Amino acid sequence: MKDRTILNLLTLSGIAGSIFFLLRKKGNTKDWFLIFFIKTLVSTIIDGPVVKTKFVQYPHRYLSKLFDSNIVFLYILFPLSCVMYNQFTYKMKPLTSVLSVFLFSGPMAAIEHWLEKNTNLVKYNRGWNSFISLIVLSFTFSLVKGCIEGIRFLNKKVNSPSDNPN
């Protein structure tokens, strides 16, 4: 399959998945959008230096004159997968949730590895490999999960009835 075809299929599946997973009723739709945007921010902050130092390159990408990163991965697929992870782990205990991160980061790292070996969509340089991608993906999933849990905690604290009887 040509690189452009794969990129187009990933884009279409990401857009369709975004519509489905961001608007589903399980949990709070506001949380899913917040997770999507937090993940986008975290991904941008991490991906920028990784791409600028040429550890990872995206030779074939949309808007290549404007972006060094693969915007489909960075702004659609990666945030969407984080929403799916948070929906999957919504009611899980913390330890189970932490272990479940590999159910999402593992396949993503495997797909990226396959893309790196068989297409011109991803290129690893300077010691970067699939294991490092797995660690970074897992870390960012966990970081965003921690952020949304912190936001939920603060929201409950702010919106709970005051102990003050006045």
For residue 23, tell me if it sits in a domain.
Answer: yes
Which position has the higher pLDDT, 149 or 166? 149
Confidence of residue 142 (pLDDT cuts 50, 70, 90): very high
Number of domains comprising the chain: 1
pTM: 0.84
For residue 63, tell me if it sits in a domain.
Answer: yes
Q: Fill in the DSSP letter of residue 162.
A: P
Cα 123 from Cα 144, distance rounded (Å): 26
For residue 139, tell me if it sits in a domain.
Answer: yes
pLDDT at res. 24:
66
For residue 84, tell me if it sits in a domain.
Answer: yes
Helix axes 130-159, 94-118, angle to 10 degrees: 140
pLDDT at res. 1:
62
Q: How big is the chain, counted in residues? A: 166
Place of tokens 């519509």: 19
Q: Fill in the DSSP letter of residue 63.
A: T
Q: Fill in the DSSP letter of residue 161.
A: P
For residue 30, tell me if it sits in a domain.
Answer: yes
Cα 97 from Cα 85, distance rounded (Å): 9
pLDDT at res. 27:
64
Residues 13-36 pLDDT 10s: 777 776 776 666 666 888 888 999
**Residue span of the structural domain in which 98 resides:** 3-154
Q: Would you list the DSSP string of 69-134?
A: S-HHIIIIIHHHHHHHHHHHTTTS-HHHHHHHHHHHHHHHHHHHHHHHHHSSS-EE-TT--HHHHH
For residue 159, tell me if it sits in a domain.
Answer: no
